Structure 1
Amino acid sequence: MITLAPRAAHAERSLARRDAGLPGLPWLLDNGRLSELLGESVRVTRVRYKPGTSLLVAFRRLRNGSFDYGWAMTRTPASSGKLLEREHTARNRGGDMRILRPDHGQPDTLVAVGGVEDDWALHRNLTWLKRNGSGRLDLRQRPGTALLAGSSVLRYKPERRLVLLAHKASTAVVIKAAAKPAGRGQQTQFLNRLRQHGVPLLPQIADDECLANGISASAAWGTGDLTAHGDTSDARTAAYTAGRALAALHCVPVAAGAAGPAAGPAASASPENPGDGLAAQLKATRTMVSALLPELEPLARDLESRLTAALLGHPRTAPVLVHGDFSPDQVLVGDSEVRLIDFDRAGTGTAEADLGSFAAAEEAFGGVAEGGPPSRGAHSDGGAPAGTAAGAPAGGPKTALLTEGYLDAGGRFSQAAVDAWAAHRLFNSSVDPFRDRSPEWAADMAWHLSRAKELIP
């Protein structure tokens, strides 16, 4: 059972006191209390928190020798009727969702619990996958089995997506079931366009009907992503090769009417005011930081102002096609080759946004698989993490090799802009340690913000 660090435990007790409108919150944020409530040992792996409104968590448990995932949700007593309505609907369609009352002294405090197939937002597309998708993807499936026979869950974000590992003959297949239909960044026409310009991608298995039902799939490939490879010769070669692949992506022509997404990291809410989207994103992050750790609100407000000036106050460069969420875990490695994955957020933007995103992710998550960022408890005073000197450019050794490959392939960038976009990612991902249940999430959040401030003047 993972135990929170003292600072994080204190921060969660303070959060529960401030958000008294969600009396069920303490049960869902504590592994021990949630396990006691459910009658089995579970670990919370992901949190979606809307202050004063709701708390939704994903949890993992061991059943029949393998990991199984589920979710739990609580709302304000005034809106708990929605949970009862969902339970009624789930019961009518044969689901396993149930309502628990953790505090007998407060009968209006409800906690809804279910498995992944009871996920309200994913249910329709998961049902389609079970009934139709296995045939369209040519996967093994036995009548009556949950989801896909022999499949296992790789990742689960409640009401967002479920990633499965299934099998097609002797080939492993990675399937993503999303709550919404696949975006243009997953469409065959768009991905073929990338291949034609030399961007190394995985072959897609899903057809148009699968994509329309939120299902995408590709054959499993390689030996892991760049976060799973340490300082080996293969990892160094892969980082350099990934830089060349990123340069190829940025060279894909951006033409009016071309197939593909139209908005990236610097997405605008309207063509008339191109900064609206970025400003709204920064404000949302600052608001959440303030809700979780009020003592960090002054720093978050300062960063919001600095990032607005740094990213919107300078002449805009010619837009390129960007990945939109580029990081070491978006680069699969197989010997000396790489494949870029997950173009859900692809769009037009500045090249430095991708480079800065990768650099920030390497600093915050480098070498770490599922389970959150490395502990920053030793750096809660705002100092740089081990291996990153204060005042150094964003990133680490993989970023250096990535940029070397990028430059050798003809890419060009401004280091100041890369650092600014790295600060942008660090700022916006500062709430991820809380969402990912890092044992030292409070210290991790403080580190993200302090490092972001170091990177912008």
Structure 2
Amino acid sequence: MITLVPASMQAERALARRDAALPGLPWLLDNGRLSELLGETVRVTRVRYKPGTSLLVSFRRRRNGSFDYGWAMTRTPASSGKLLEREHTVRSHGGDMRILRPDPGDPEALVAVGGVEDDWALHRNLTWLKKYGIERLGLHHRPGAALLAGSSVLRYKPERRLVLLSHKASTAVVIKAAAKPASPGQQTQFLNRLRHHGVPLLPQLADAECLGHGITASTAWGTGDLAARGNSTGTRTAAYTAGQALAALHRVPAAVDVSGPVAEPAAGHRCEDLAAQLKATRTMVSALLPELEPLARELETRLTALLLARPRTAPVLVHGDFSPDQVLVGDSEVRLIDFDRTASGFAEADLGSFAAAEEAVLPAAGRSPSSEALPDGGAPAGAAAGGPKTALLAEGYVDAGGRFSQAAVDAWAAYRLFNSSVDPFRDRSPEWAADMSWHLGRAKELVP
């Protein structure tokens, strides 16, 4: 009997063979092997991979009837001493980090494992949240109880951020704990300025002390985000309204003052940042799927030339990471969220980012870039970037006074598709290899 191995699994096995510097890598990319190593059933939800250096993953497991999250990391044998040092530090603080040796024949292959509260990058701010932040947010927390008691984890990116859903009386509250202090775009004064100019936002609960410890919070609102909704009348209305909200954001004066959060161009809009990001993406694509390197190099060259050309529009205040899941929907209203990347840039970057994100949910079933038409109203090959939500967003944007170049929107959509081509691998999509190929193929269709 011949057993067929999925393409992504074959790619992971080939990756493990190429990256012999990380002997622990095979255990962290395979749910079955990691579950066997930990002695419980887990599923990897996020990966951060630095070829030849380290692999860090988050995983989800079910404990006491609810989901719990943890992390696992492996490094090269030469730098495994850092894992041992961190284990000592975490345990000295009462943590539960462990060092495992998955291969009895290779004592240098180490895997560090811990829970969310053992995350050394988040530990200080999570400790502050537990001791002081919960009370400052007006939430109830029993003395001595675990941080996550009474809360559920919505998202977890190791060494980056933890998003919790908690409750204040009968109101749900979303709390984000980041490894670094809140960005200028998350400060109360800046958000009040956006609100003053008509940008629909959520009320913020975190004070300056919370923000200084990377803690932001807001009441939960609406019935979901625009990405999770189908093509109903309510969704179409929300997409149009989101376009009007985006136009309001773009009308806010970009340079607030010399020290303000938007006095400089957005990261990725500065020439050096844009070129560096394209190079980093091409390098990662080459590491994951070497057969895609020629296409990645071609796109890097095309996008560098296209986006570094003299701009034809004046810069505006941009969201910096605009997508359907950054738009919360409630009845006929919307709220825009997550302004930590807000800065000066080009309007088409936000529109193109939204368009790319809408299309990116379509190739999950393994569709090829040469498909004549995509299900759920997606754009056919060779069409302008985006799908029906993007079209309605653009309509609302223009009706609210916004202006844009479609060619520039397509170019920025290609930029996001190219840079997000590695996300299927990072997010552990079962068909990540095919999804990566789709991203690159679609990006190529959008650039001349």
TMscore range, shorter length: over 0.9
Q: Match for residue 377 of structure 1?
A: 366
Q: CA deviation at 1:382?
A: 7.8
Question: Once superposed, what is the RMSD of the aligned Cα atoms?
Answer: 1.5
Whether 1:286 and 2:282 are equivalent positions in the alignment is yes
The aligned residue for residue 370 of structure 1 is none
Q: Distance in 2 between matches of 1:390 and 1:229?
A: 23
Equivalences for residues 43-192 of structure 1 within 5 A: 43-192=43-192
Structure 1 pair 63–263 and aligned structure 2 pair: CA distance change class (3 A):
farther
* Aligned-partner residue type, residue 332 of structure 1: L
Greater shift in the superposed pair: 405-414 or 313-322: 313-322
- Provide the secondary structure at the position in 1 that maps to 2:364: coil
Task: Give the structure 2 partner of residue 447 of structure 1.
Answer: 438
Q: 1:323 aligns with which of 319, 326, 330?
A: 319
Choose the corresponding residue for 1:394, options 385, 392, 395. Answer: 385
**Structure 2 counterpart of 1:221:** 221
Q: 1:348 aligns with which of 330, 333, 344?
A: 344
The Cα shift of 1:58 comes to 0.1
Per-residue CA deviation, residues 53-78 of structure 1 (Å, 9 max, x unaligned), is: 00000000000110000000000011
Conserved? CA contact 2:201–2:335, under 8 Å: yes
The whole-number CA distance in structure 2 between the counterparts of 1:36 and 1:91 is 24
**Equivalent residues, number:** 442
2:346 maps to a residue whose letter is: T
Q: Any residues of structure 2 matched to 1:273-312 within 5 Å, and which?
A: 274-312=270-308
Q: Structure 1 224/399 Cα, relative in aligned 2: closer, same or farther at 3 Å?
A: same
SS of 2:425 mapped into structure 1? helix
1:266 is displaced (CA, Å) by 5.5
Counterparts of 1:193-212 in structure 2, within 5 Å, are: 193-212=193-212
Match of 1:430 in 2: 421
Counterpart secondary structure, 1:430:
helix
Q: 1:263 to 1:31 in 2, by over 3 A?
A: farther
Q: Distance in 2 between matches of 1:419 and 1:236?
A: 22
Contact 1:264-1:324 at 8 Å conserved across structures: no
Q: Deviations over 1:323-353 (max 9, x none)?
A: 0000000000000000000001100000000
Q: Distance in 1 between matches of 2:165 and 2:5?
A: 33
| SS of 1:379 mapped into structure 2 | coil
The answer as to whether partners of 2:254 and 2:343 remain within 8 angstroms in 1 is: no
Q: Distance in 2 between matches of 1:39 and 1:264?
A: 48
Identity %, equivalent residues = 80
State how far apart, in whole Å, the 2-side matches of 1:221 and 1:302 are.
Answer: 43
Q: Residue 334 of structure 2 aligns to a residue in which SS?
A: strand
**Offset at residue 379 of structure 1 (A):** 1.6
- Tell me, yes or no, if the aligned pair for 1:376 and 1:443 is still in contact at 8 Å: no
Please report how far the alpha carbon of residue 375 of structure 1 lies from its aligned counterpart in structure 2 after TM superposition: 1.8
Which of residues 403, 417, 421 in structure 1 aligns to 2:412? 421
Q: Would the aligned equivalents of 2:121 and 2:159 in 1 still touch at CA under 8 Å?
A: yes
Once the 2 structures are TM-superposed, how far is the Cα of residue 260 of structure 1 from its aligned partner?
Answer: 2.5
With structure 2 as the length reference, what TM-score do the two structures score? 0.96
5+ long unaligned stretches in structure 2: none
Structure 1 unmatched ranges of 5 or more = 269-273, 367-373
Selected match of 1:338 from 334, 340, 349: 334
* Alpha-carbon distance between aligned partners in 2 of 1:287 and 1:41, rounded to the nearest angstrom: 33
Over residues 403-437 of structure 1, what are the superposed CA-to-partner deviations in whole Å (9 max), with x where a residue is unaligned? 00000000000000000000000000000000000
Q: CA deviation at 1:383?
A: 7.3
